[in-house]
Structures are given as structure tokens and as C-alpha cells.
Structure 1
Amino acid sequence: MTTAFYTHSDCLEHRTPPGHPEQVARLQYINDALSSEAFDKLDRRKAPLCNDDDILLCHPQSHLDTIFAAEPFKGSRALDADTHMSVGSVQAARRAVGANIAAVDAVLDREVQNAFVACRPPGHHAEQSTPMGFCLFGNAAIAARHAIERHGLERVAIVDFDVHHGNGTQALLWNETRALFVSSHQNPLWPGTGMAEETGGHGHIHNLPLPPHSDGRLMRATYDAQVWPVIDRYEPQLIIVSAGFDAHEADPLAQLNWSTEDFAWLTQKICGLAADHCEGRVVSTLEGGYDLSALAAATAAHVSVLMENGA
């Protein structure tokens, strides 16, 4: 068994305006970081294109129509103050969804032990009919619904450690009884959701707001007390990770002060729970992370632990 790594050059064609934090260079830095000899054993796979039916697992047809119609013929177009599309954005977004679908298939079919998806645009802020926060489609939520509806899983856990609340994943899975969603995030911070009292339609959503300027010690204590026991009791058949690296101390968009080692610790804990409950099956997908060097280092640490557990 091994770790699959999904990406595609089409995801470099989703271009945001100059100075935008969700930039092409994010993926370039990740690819460079994972090109060293230490990552030679990665099972490198091209992200496939998804079908409309894949996106429709979470979004209505009207949302697809809106996104497809919004892609400009040249330059870029702002969907809101933060979220932009360019020529090639739809193709890139289809690759991001398709890679997550393929990663779930590969892990559940026992082709690989676990997988990391490095595609953009990210996904965890996209709501049913609202693109936002750099996101067009709910990649992680779609992956979960794919595992549930097409593979027949009854318990899928999603762990979102991006510094921003995964409001889109929460909204898309609000009434999904077969998914557990756990999100740690800085509060106060955009998008302003993710309070502890937001527990979903069936008490299956767990939000852990963390104060600005806290660090990895508080994060680890919080996860030890409030996350790992919940997942342990849930006994997931698959764990999906929304892997945002913007809680890093170097990140310019937030004020949590996690270290690269904190991300490795989180990954090891997740893999340990997966080993206990679902034969080590983990699918991780890239979300945020906007200091390029910190993003590269944290991603490399994350993937290294996945590889150690996938060997």
C-alpha cells in the first residue's frame, strides 16, 4: 500500500488577480516541496475531470449553471469581493472535485492506503448555491457524499483544521445523518460562522472556535479533549481531511500560531484513528494556506506522515 497524490496542471490555469492570496504559486510551491527524493514513493496520479452528477451530490443544477455561465472569455471575473474566476476556472474546479472522487475510490477500493489531493480552487466555503471564500464547489462534502451514496458507507468523518470555519461543508452536510463534521478555526474571523452551538440537524456537527494568538498547545489540548474522543466513539469507515494550512504562525490572513510540527501531530492522530476504525483509510484535500514557504513546509510534513502510515 502507498499514498496517492492527485494534482493536475489545469489547476494552475485558475488565475486570480495580482496580489490575491489564493494564487497559482500555492500549487507550484507544493509541487516543488513534494518533488524531492523523500517523496519518490508517492503514487502520483493526474486529477480526473468530474461529471455534473458528481457536483450534483451537493449542489443544485442552478448552481452549476451559474458557475459555468460566470467563467469569462478572457481575464478574470469577480463573483464577490474574494472569489474570482478566470478562463480555465471551471476546468480546474472539475479537476478538484474529480480528484476527490477518485481519491475516495482508490482508498475504498484498497488501491492505496490514503491520498492527498493538491488541487485548486479549494472548496470548504462553497455553500449550496453560493460560491464564496475562494471556493466554487464543496470538494470535501462531495467526496463524503460520494462515499455514502455510491460506496454505501454509513459513517464518514470530516476533520477540517483550516483556520477559517468550513461553513460550506457544514451547510452542505447540515442534514446528512451519515457524516460527522468537526471544524477547528479561529474566532473571531471571517466568515463569522462556526459557533459551538451550531450542531447540525442531528447533532453531528462539532465546531471548536479557537481564540486569536493562541498556539499549538491549546490546539492539541482542545483536540485531545473534544475531537479525538468524538471520532473514536463515531467509529468512522472513512476519514476525510480538509487540510488548510493557514493556522500556521507565518500565515498573513489569521492569527493562530501553529507550527509545522503541529500539522504533523494532527495528521498522525488522524491516521491513528483511521487505523483503529477504518483500516487506515484517509483522504486529505487542500484548502487554505497563504504564506507560500509555510504552506510548502506544512504540506510536506502532512504528506510525510500520510506516507509513513501508508507504507
Structure 2
Amino acid sequence: MGFSFVTEIPSPDVIRERFPLAPELAVRKKERDEEIKKIITGESDKLLVIVGPCSADNEEAVVDYVSRLVKVQEKTKDRLVIVPRVYTNKPRTTGEGYMGMIHQPDPEKKPDMLEGILAIRHMHMRVLQETGFSTADEMLYPENLRYLSDIMSYIAVGARSVENQFHRLVASGCDVPVGLKNPTSGDLTVMLNSVVAAQVPHDFIFRGWEVQCPGNPLSHTILRGAVNKHGQTIPNYHYEDLRLLYELYMKRNLKNPACIVDTNHSNSGKQYMEQIRIAKEVLHSRRHSDDIKNLVKGLMIESYIEPGSQKIGEHCYGKSITDPCLGWDDTERLLYDIAELS
């Protein structure tokens, strides 16, 4: 086999024992879990806003960014629950490019997975400690979930992973909301099949154990747009798309029908400023239809301190090194607009 075994990685139990979550932070995380859960189940009419960098590449900049959200959350707490994106695993379409802090805690140095695991746990924990925000991250590697699961309050499964059986099985064992994106093809049936799989119990092999998972009633859909056979992006956030998803949900026996609309990726064609218009259009659709209002529980927005993106090595503080993001000034205005319009 063409494997070179580089470093044996300690189990999640070992890492969590070495770097435990303080009891008061565990309490805060549980409170946040309840707030978010109530939105997904419909017990709360607040809007969930999952917002932050495309990739969390620098701890200082990420903590700085999330600290800015604190004031906004306080002013909008009657209407919004903000969850910072602290995405440390990055799927790459071709397998090339920066794959997140878990691979490279320093984007300019060689991969070091052990240091990466320690770095992402430290960063997620620091965000919770310094800001009171529990976090969202993408489940790119299901077997790595438990390195962070005691800190995160929201988990996303990406468009390239949503058809993978292992992701669906592990989602069924999560006790926080798991959002499952539509695949890059845009097939809504695939996405809904993933939600079905995540909501029912399973027995499977996980990290060398036979495990049983009860099913996750908080698993739900994320619309992120699609790409056609010509490589052109096809948005799926319009009123007609939301109406279709609602009707497809109603044909299935699913718990807590819920959808988050991702305003970037193929919905914006990666034109990051379009996120402002898209967010407002989705909120207009919610106001127009009670069915859509009951279905669409929130928005996902890519945002950082500086607008746009940069190449690795340019060293612009708080600017994305992957997909372009909204800058802070536009983000702050948009969050207040979302609160007013929701």
C-alpha cells in the first residue's frame, strides 16, 4: 500500500482529557444548544444566522472577528441567534489548495495533523471562553467529530459529502443540529434522503467500535445552489425553490422540517457582495408565505474582517485565503437589517 504512517494521532478522549472544557463553558454551550434547538423545532421564531469566514485560518483574526459579533448579538437578541462559523476543515474540489487549519495550523508551512487538531480545539475553545459563542464547523472527516463536539452547537455536511453514507450515519448520532447541503448537482432528493438517513437510528463501525446512534431529529437541509453540466451556477434560494422544497418536505415523514439558506457558494456564484441581496430576498419570501417562514429557519453568510480574498502569503489581517467574504462593515449593517426584516 502507498501509505506512509507519519504520526499516531491521540484519540478524541485523550485530547479532551488533556484539554478539557471548563464546567462553566460547558454550561454556556448547553444554553446555546437549547436556543438553537428551539429555532429548528419551531418553538422559537428567532432567525438563526451562521456567519463567519469561509475558512478559519488565523486564531487571532477569528477571535477578533467573533468578538465583534458580541455587540450585534446583544442588540438583536430578540430576533436573531448568531452562530459564528469557525470552519477548520475545507473540502477542495480538485484535492488541491488549503484544506483548513486541521491540516495546516500555519497555511505557509507543511501539513501537521496533530498540531492542527490541537490548534482547532484551542481556537474553538477560546472563542467560547472569550465571547460566549459556541461555534459551527463542517464535518468533513466524521471520525474527527469528537475532537470538537463538546464545543460546537452546529454542524454542517457539505455538498461533496452529503451523499456519503458515513457522514449520514455519524450525523444520526449528533445531539446538535446538523445541516445537510444539497449536492453540487442541486438534486433536492439526494439532500432529503440524507436528512431521512440522519434522522433514523443506525448501527455501524466508528473508530474501531460497533456503535448505535438513535437518530438526530434536528438534522435539516441547507440550500447552497448548484452547478450544471456546463459549469454554470444555478441558484436555489428564490421563492419558487423554497416553495418546492416545502412541498417535498410535506411528502415525507420528517421531524422538524427546516432549511437554512446559504447566501454564498453557488447561490451567489461566489460574488460575495450578492449575499446582501440574497439574504434580503429570502427574508421577503418568508414574509410573503407562512409556509416558507415556518420552513426557512436561518441564513448562512460568509464574512470576515476585510472584504474579498487574498492569496496565502499576502498577510492581510482578517482577509479570507479561500472564498471571498463580506467585510465587517457590510456584515454589521446586514445583520441589523436581517434583524429588522425578520
| TM over 0.5, shorter chain | no
Quick check: which has more Rg, 1 or 2?
2
TM interval, short-chain normalised: 0.3 to 0.5
TM-score w.r.t. length of structure 1: 0.42
